[in-house]
Amino acid sequence: MFIKKMRLPGITVLLMILLLVLSLAVSVQAKTFIDWRAGFYVTYPDDWFHVPYQQVSQFLIAQDISWQDFDYDAVLARKTDRPFFQGPYIFMVFQPRGELTQIQIDSVLEELSAEYKSTHKEGALVGDVIFPINRPVYDRQQQAIGVKTRITSETIDKILIELWRFYEKGVAIFLCYAPKDVYNEVRPIFMDIFNSFSTKDIDQIQPEDSFEVVDLAGREMIVGDMDNPDPGRGGGTAEFSKLYYWLALIIIAVVAVWLIYRQRKSRFFKTKTNQ
């Protein structure tokens, strides 16, 4: 009877640890992209990736656009077996204007409203927000703007959500593109990435040696050099899943050995007592 009482708590502890590990594994499925130049970071799902600058350059050059014409900081895209631009992706752009006053933000809203020939509306840019077509939405609490447009041609049918975030260094703009047939599916992902925006404790997120550092100068690299991005100090990604995976395995192994030891020790003392 004593042995049975020992087994139940041991199994309970092991199950609790397994649940903790599983919850931890789920929580670390996100990656972090840090834009050092703009001074912010965002998190994105594990099935997305930071697109190498060379691939982005090929895409832009095919449209007769250079990085000098379009000064983007990074592109995030969902992993597929096709070129990144055939699925959902996000261009991140930084405009170093410093912190804007409310009057200046209102002026931007007026300009956007005039551009889209529509008056803006106010609403929260959180969760699976529904955007009216060609009508800016202003989130006063977050100081953010969102506007949805549709891009069509003989071969293209995409939805673009343009998201603006005003903060102390200027404006972070997220240009979120998705093929029309997957737009409703990825819209919440776009919003999650955008709303993960933060400038808090940017230097303390992870030790520097954990980052795959990339150089904004990589935008100038020769087209075709796809496999050798140069290191530098532009932005970076941090992946935590592997570290926590192995740490979880070690913890489980240690706990399992400890439980086995306790149960055997209990049996030993039970046997000695009965003798």
* Tokens 């979880």 found at: 248
* Selection from 220, 229, 233 nearest residue 60 by Cα: 220
Mean pLDDT of the chain: 77
Pairing state between β 48-50 and 72-78? antiparallel
Question: Mean pLDDT lowest for which of 115-124, 153-162, 264-273?
Answer: 264-273
| pLDDT surpasses 50 at 140 | yes
* Tokens 């972070």 found at: 172
**Confidence label for 271 from pLDDT (cuts 50, 70 and 90):** low
* Cα separation, 57 vs 145, whole angstroms: 28
Which letter, b or e, does each residue of 53-70 get, where b requires 16 or more Cβ atoms within 10 Å of its Cβ? bbbbbebbeeeeeebeee
Which letter, b or e, does each residue of 216-247 get, where b requires 16 or more Cβ atoms within 10 Å of its Cβ? bebbebeeeeeeebeeeebbbbbebeeebeee
* Cα separation, 128 vs 211, whole angstroms: 31
Summarize the confidence of residues 83-99 as an average pLDDT: 94
List residues bridging with 158 in a β-sheet.
151, 179
* Cα separation, 225 vs 57, whole angstroms: 11
| Between 154 and 159, residue with greater pLDDT | 159
The pLDDT value given to residue 206: 62
Rg (the chain; Cα; Å): 25
* Selection from 90, 85, 58 nearest residue 189 by Cα: 90
CB 131 within 8 A of CB 149: no
Q: What is the pTM of this model?
A: 0.70
The pLDDT value given to residue 2: 38
Summarize the confidence of residues 270-274 as an average pLDDT: 54
Q: How many CB atoms lie within 10 A of CB 165?
A: 21
The pLDDT value given to residue 255: 64
Query: Helices marked H in the chain — which ranges?
Result: 2-27, 53-62, 102-116, 183-195, 241-274
Share of the chain above pLDDT 70, in %: 64
Summarize the confidence of residues 46-53 as an average pLDDT: 93
List pLDDT tens digits, range 8-43.
455 555 545 555 544 444 444 678 999 988 999 999
| pLDDT surpasses 50 at 238 | no
Phi, psi angles (nearest 5°) of residue 161: -110, 120
Summarize the confidence of residues 100-118 as an average pLDDT: 91
**Confidence label for 68 from pLDDT (cuts 50, 70 and 90):** confident
| pLDDT surpasses 70 at 52 | yes
- What is residue 133's DSSP assignment? B
List pLDDT tens digits, range 169-209.
999 999 999 999 999 999 999 999 999 999 998 888 764 44
The pLDDT value given to residue 12: 54
